[in-house]
Amino acid sequence: MNKWNFYTTDEIKPLGWLRRQLEIQADGLSGNLDKIWPDIRNSSWIGGDKEGWERVPYWLDGFIPLAYLLENEDMKARAKKYIDAIVSYQKPDGWICPCADDERKTYDTWALQLIAKTLTVYYQCSKDERIPEVIYRVLRNYYEMLKSSEISLFDWGKARWFECFAAISFIYERCGEEWLTELAKILEEQGLDYNEAIPLWKRPLNRWRFDTHIVNLAMMLKSEAVSCSILKKNYTDNAEKLHGILQKYNGTPVGLFTGDECLSGLSPIQGTELCSVAEQMYSYEVLFAFTGDSKWAERLEMLAFNALPATISDDMWTHQYVQMSNQIACKKFPGKSLFRTNGNEAHLFGLEPNFGCCTANFNQAWPKFALSAFLYDGDTVINAVPVPCELKTADKYIKIETEYPFKNSFIYTVKAENAFKFRVRIPSFAKNLAVNGAMTQANELLFEIGEGESREISISFETQPVFDERPNNLNTVRCGSLVFSVPVNYKKVMYEYEKDGVERKFPYCDYEYIPESDWNYAYCADIPVVQRNRVADIPFSSVAPPVTVKVTAKKINWGLEDGYEDVCAKLPESREPIGNKEEILLYPYGCSKLRMTELPIID
């Protein structure tokens, strides 16, 4: 096991398409929520009268690293304004959440766990020396209240007990006081044990439960990794066991688990909540850092390059609450919702479709992904995810020039004042790997960089399109970390309105996506052909995708799901062709807002 450490926002800087993606995010909803959304703009966290629980901490958890990665002084100042207000309202005994003293017992302390975690993010970005003392007092008060039974974990705090461990470890590294270990044990004892819930994951229910809630499960995957050291327990890789069960019974082609909003089985027309995409990515980042096991980094790529961009509009002003693998329309259901526990407009693109948690929480996904490009352990640096960026520390510089995952070539510029070891993770699907023109077979490269050395390293490999088998004799096309879909052309219908005091106004209004092209295809067995294009100003563009795959297909009588006019049937009504063979272009899943991803092969 190799425990890697994360670099900070003043050491890693995004370049190329990754920087552009972060700039789009800053110009969109993430960078403007404090201006337009009452739950952030007028939150009780800063003395207002709106939501005073998870939404401000969620938003800051992504807004802060986004501001610092882009070196955006206005965004940094706005983040500081929020942190200053939150800190100013901390009570003398350390309590920090916005509720009356006599309401603490009924205040779900998931928000306390989250703000403590977010404050560690702020300190790592800003180096604000007030923050460690603030977090210390928050945790000490939390410990004393839990130990005395003045409060206890329930609901979300009980389900997400491990989310407090980022802050606990942060303070423990500074002071080593034993009460922090006791706090960790109390949280574990009062928290959910997800191993006991495994039988519930194998057969979806139309019933809302904390232990089948998809966001809780996405967070849960990292629980052993974040807690075992402070609890003085051995690491058992329980995450792999739980991941395997979730994947077997609820997996999707892009590495997600269905959950709309609780586990929903293997159907390609069930949804997955956007919050779970962000949290599953973060869990994989933590798991790779803790274990050094490449499987977590490869799974992270699948989510970042497919599931994340697919469920957010190109301009990042709107998003879905849930995405579906086979999604032929995003129209409000006129009657009963298709989803197990979500409402009938959860799949629309909008400001806060279904519920506003994702509006605040999706902000963390791209910034924390960028911070996962490089990690270190002593005098060894690893490039975990090969995206365009540069690393600058006091004694080393590494720059990656690449358009990966759209193209598979990399130029590394490396400069060292002091000698260090540089490792590069190679994906398991890489073929014909070449290093500086020489062919090699390796799943990781190690370079010894000498004192005062400057070096350029050229790496390339090939990826081949393959058909991945899915349940019910359906198939998905994948090439490397990119999954491909039949794109469905659409028109947007815009809705501007006000509901419960929240205004939807362009560009943060709501949209239905109405299909305008055929979608009822089955693949022929011909080998797909990859076509690589220019990476547009919008990296995961829905109109100018950076890579496509040419396949042959035939139309079939797929049919609609019983009771719905705008949902394809879970499985085709017939697999007999009703048309001639056609050549069609598949788009990356992340570029396809309407799509068919799981199809039969009929030839």
Q: Are residues 525 and 456 in the same domain?
A: no
Element (H, E) at 125: helix 110-126
- Is residue 500 one of the residues assigned to a domain? yes
Q: Is 402 helix (H, G, I), strand (E, B) or coil?
A: strand
Identity of residue 96: I
Q: Are residues 428 and 549 in the same domain?
A: no
Contact 576, 584 (CB under 8 A): no
Which tens digits make up the pLDDT trace of 59-71? 999 999 999 999 9
- Is residue 283 one of the residues assigned to a domain? no
Which residues form the domain of 420?
375-402+409-462
Q: Are residues 518 and 546 in the same domain?
A: yes
pLDDT of residue 2: 57
DSSP secondary structure, 561-583, as one string: -TT-SSSB-SS-S--SB-S--EE
Contact 271, 347 (CB under 8 A): yes
Residue with tokens 């991803």: 597
Contact 65, 14 (CB under 8 A): no
Which tens digits make up the pLDDT trace of 294-312? 999 999 999 999 999 999 9
* Closest of 2, 23, 24 to residue 13, by C-alpha: 23
Q: What whole-number distance in Å separates Cα of residue 338 and Cα of residue 173?
A: 48
- Is residue 59 one of the residues assigned to a domain? no
- Does the pLDDT value for residue 454 go beyond 80? yes
- Does the pLDDT value for residue 530 go beyond 80? yes
Q: What whole-number distance in Å separates Cα of residue 359 and Cα of residue 394?
A: 37
Q: Are residues 450 and 528 in the same domain?
A: no
Bridge partners (DSSP) listed for residue 465:
479
CATH code for position 451: 2.60.40
Q: How confident is the model at residue 603 (pLDDT cuts 50, 70, 90)?
A: confident
Q: Are residues 446 and 483 in the same domain?
A: no
Last residue of a domain, one of 447, 462, 477: 462
Q: Are residues 455 and 474 in the same domain?
A: no
- Is residue 480 one of the residues assigned to a domain? yes
* Closest of 76, 39, 72, 75 to residue 57, by C-alpha: 39
- Is residue 559 one of the residues assigned to a domain? yes
- Is residue 358 one of the residues assigned to a domain? no
Average the pLDDT over 195-221 and give the result: 97
Last residue of a domain, one of 462, 481, 502: 462
* Closest of 309, 320, 314, 308 to residue 358, by C-alpha: 320
Query: For the chain, how many structural domains are there in total?
Result: 2
Q: What whole-number distance in Å separates Cα of residue 335 and Cα of residue 318?
A: 24
- Is residue 434 one of the residues assigned to a domain? yes
- pTM of model > 0.75: yes
Q: Are residues 494 and 543 in the same domain?
A: yes
Q: Are residues 481 and 575 in the same domain?
A: yes
Q: What whole-number distance in Å separates Cα of residue 66 and Cα of residue 535?
A: 22
- Strand runs labelled E in 289-358: 322-324
Q: Are residues 430 and 471 in the same domain?
A: no
Q: What whole-number distance in Å separates Cα of residue 248 and Cα of residue 205?
A: 16
Average the pLDDT over 404-433 and give the result: 98
Q: Are residues 469 and 565 in the same domain?
A: yes
Which tens digits make up the pLDDT trace of 83-101? 999 999 999 999 999 999 9
Neighbours of 88 (CB within 10 A): 9
Query: What residues contact 34, with CB distance under 8 A and at least 6 apart?
Result: 40, 41, 59, 63, 78, 82
pLDDT of residue 78: 98
Average the pLDDT over 273-280 and give the result: 98
Identity of residue 558: W
> Alpha helix locations (H) across 148-273?
155-159, 165-175, 178-190, 214-220, 223-227, 238-250
Average the pLDDT over 439-461 and give the result: 96
DSSP secondary structure, 180-212, as one string: HHHHHHHHHHHS--GGGGGGGGSS--SS--GGG
Q: Are residues 390 and 477 in the same domain?
A: no
Q: Are residues 455 and 469 in the same domain?
A: no
